[in-house]
Structure 1
Amino acid sequence: MTSYDPALFLGTAWYYARYRLPYPAEVFALLIRTFALDGRGCLLDLGAGTGEVAVPLSTHVEQVVAVEPDAEMIVEGEARARSAGAGNIRWEHAAAEEFSGRPAAFRITTVGTALHWMDKPRVLTRVHELLEPGGGVAVFSGGSLWTGRAAWQSAAVRVIQRYLGEARRAGRGEFPQSTGSYAELLMNHGFVGPQTHFVVQPIEWSIDQILGYLYSTSFASRRLFGARVGSFEDELRHRLLNLDATGTFTEEQILEVVVAWKPS
């Protein structure tokens, strides 16, 4: 996408802050170790959401600039930061493509499962300019319920499709198809030494948690169902309980973290 669609996550922020799974501690340990974070320097977090990356890493840098285009997400992110006592985060209401910062001002840039929404060449060119020499970038990616292979995930997607259509929704359009690896993309934009890490996260869901997660997404936000939301919830519960009467569902989510550096 070349410009941010304000309908993309409209009405999802409350659910996003409460039902999106936190990144595993292993991910942050990896970044702290890889980039030798020691409380100094400034972190730029693009597509910051409700602070899923910015808040946990705030204790390992001097300052965080969290850039997020959705105003409702920022409200939730600020609340998360206050609750955590993270007073060194500055929130910027802007799309990643539009953020203007001082060149070579940042020690590390993170993009947590958000680069697929962005104009990748434009954003990565800008990230390269904003990083100090030798600075690092970390890009996260992972699956979603829509692409999951478990029987309960497939059943949930079929229910969503009955109400919203076959295509995976994304704001006013459809979900953008990914092309190429992030490691290759980073190298093509001047970064060196890319490393790809995989973190496996076992997850156990209740039906209420599944619904909350769905309402945090662009493809099944609550507003998309309109007056049929009650029928959707009833049908989803019925389908899932037919699969497992306990109402508990499991998966192993694999998070990919690609790190690379701007040459010194």
Structure 2
Amino acid sequence: MNNEPLPVPDRREEPSAGPEPSDEALFGTAAGEYARYRPGVPDGAVRLLAATLHGVPAPVLLDLGTGTGQVPRALLPVVPRMAHVNLVDVNQQMLAQATAELEPLLGACTVTTYAGEAHTFAPRVLGQRADLVTCCRAFHWMDRTAVLKMADRVAAPHAAVAVMGDRSLWTHDADWTVALRELIQTYLGEGRRAGTRGTYTEPGRSYEDDLAASAFSDVSEHRFPLTRAWTPESVIGYLRSTSFARPALFADRHQAFEAEARRLLDAHARSGTLCEEAVFTVLLARRPGTAS
């Protein structure tokens, strides 16, 4: 049960002709920091995603808001029969970083990049349907209703949609993250910045409700608690990759901010380590009657 056979040209195809990407106002040129400092997908979540592809001989993955390709980078080693990966992002530099990161893992798998908003995606190969649609830490930036309608058009009948992520350091409630958030606010104002778009607004309804109102209304929640150990250096690198504290937001005050942030983090670190207790949540959704 899968797609029509895929052509096998070069392992990385030319970008498909989607709409013009955005002005990259959210993350700017942060692809390097994003790839190096953003936490990956936990092993338990990777196994859960891989299990959705059990029995599919040559799976196709559609990764929305792919960033630097963390999801396919985690899945390819455990699903070596993956036939094709579609990477979708508004940021061209993120897509370039993602294809470079994936290159050593591809084997016979092919990749297509699509620069544009997720809800406008259309597969380049006629009849190619995704067996798994993933969106990690990016669903809140999207037109979620339109994205799920698009997924219904392009996903195979048996496909699963996985909306997943965890809280950012902005929302984490440890002593050191609270102090760091307060420092950012002294520079950038009380509201959480959303790149140069202004301030971030919480979604009007939950992701569970978004999914329940879509074709993928059979939803299960899977939670993976984990402990992350940060260093002051890795926190600074992470901040450079975020929409709420990337360097351009500070203009000529960024160097001063980083120096002050480094002093704050050094003061809170214990043996050079800052602890984050996190929960990575996966909402796994299918069309009713298709759950395996």
TM-score range, shorter chain: over 0.9
AA in 2 matched with 1:159 = L
> Aligned residue for 1:9?
27
> Aligned residue for 2:223?
198
| In 1: Cα distance, 2:244 partner to 2:55 partner | 36
Q: Is the 8 A contact 2:187 2:250 kept in 1?
A: yes
Q: Is the 8 A contact 2:22 2:91 kept in 1?
A: no
14-23 or 102-111, which moves further after superposition?
102-111
> Aligned residue for 1:241?
266
C-alpha deviation, 1:181, in angstroms: 2.8
C-alpha deviation, 1:169, in angstroms: 0.5
C-alpha deviation, 1:143, in angstroms: 0.3
AA in 1 matched with 2:184 = I
Structure 1 gaps of 5+ residues are none
**Does residue 1:224 correspond to 2:249, yes or no?**
yes
Q: TM-score, normalised by structure 2?
A: 0.84
C-alpha deviation, 1:104, in angstroms: 6.9
> Aligned residue for 1:91?
113
Paired residue secondary structure (2:29): coil
Distance 1:85 1:32, change over 3 A: closer
C-alpha deviation, 1:58, in angstroms: 3.2
AA in 2 matched with 1:136 = A
**Does residue 1:112 correspond to 2:130, yes or no?**
no
Richer in strand (by share): 1
Q: How does 1:168-179 map to 2 (within 5 A)?
A: 168-171=192-195, 172-179=197-204
Distance 1:235 1:117, change over 3 A: same
Distance 1:22 1:64, change over 3 A: same
Q: How does 1:77-156 map to 2 (within 5 A)?
A: 77-85=98-106, 87-101=109-123, 105-156=129-180
**Does residue 1:157 correspond to 2:181, yes or no?**
yes
Q: How does 1:245-260 map to 2 (within 5 A)?
A: 246-260=271-285
- Tell me how large the CA RMSD over aligned residues is: 1.9
Q: Is the 8 A contact 1:54 1:89 kept in 2?
A: no
- 1:166-221: CA deviation from partner (whole Å, max 9, x where unpaired): 11010222113023332221120121321000111210111000000111100001
**Does residue 1:189 correspond to 2:207, yes or no?**
no
249-258 or 173-182, which moves further after superposition?
173-182
C-alpha deviation, 1:27, in angstroms: 0.9
Structure 2 gaps of 5+ residues are 1-20
AA in 1 matched with 2:176 = W
| In 2: Cα distance, 1:136 partner to 1:167 partner | 35
Paired residue secondary structure (1:202): strand
The percent of aligned pairs where both chains have the same amino acid is 34
| In 2: Cα distance, 1:139 partner to 1:50 partner | 17
115-124 or 76-85, which moves further after superposition?
76-85
| In 1: Cα distance, 2:210 partner to 2:110 partner | 31
C-alpha deviation, 1:39, in angstroms: 4.7
> Aligned residue for 1:43?
61
Q: TM-score, normalised by structure 1?
A: 0.92
AA in 2 matched with 1:224 = L
- 1:84-112: CA deviation from partner (whole Å, max 9, x where unpaired): 34552222222102212356711111111
- 1:152-178: CA deviation from partner (whole Å, max 9, x where unpaired): 001111111111111101022211302
Paired residue secondary structure (2:75): helix
| In 2: Cα distance, 1:207 partner to 1:65 partner | 35
AA in 1 matched with 2:193 = R
Q: Is the 8 A contact 2:266 2:272 kept in 1?
A: yes
Richer in helix (by share): 1
Q: Is the 8 A contact 1:131 1:262 kept in 2?
A: no
Paired residue secondary structure (2:266): helix
> Aligned residue for 1:33?
51
Q: Is the 8 A contact 2:268 2:274 kept in 1?
A: no
Q: How does 1:210-221 map to 2 (within 5 A)?
A: 210-221=235-246
AA in 2 matched with 1:121 = T
**Does residue 1:207 correspond to 2:232, yes or no?**
yes
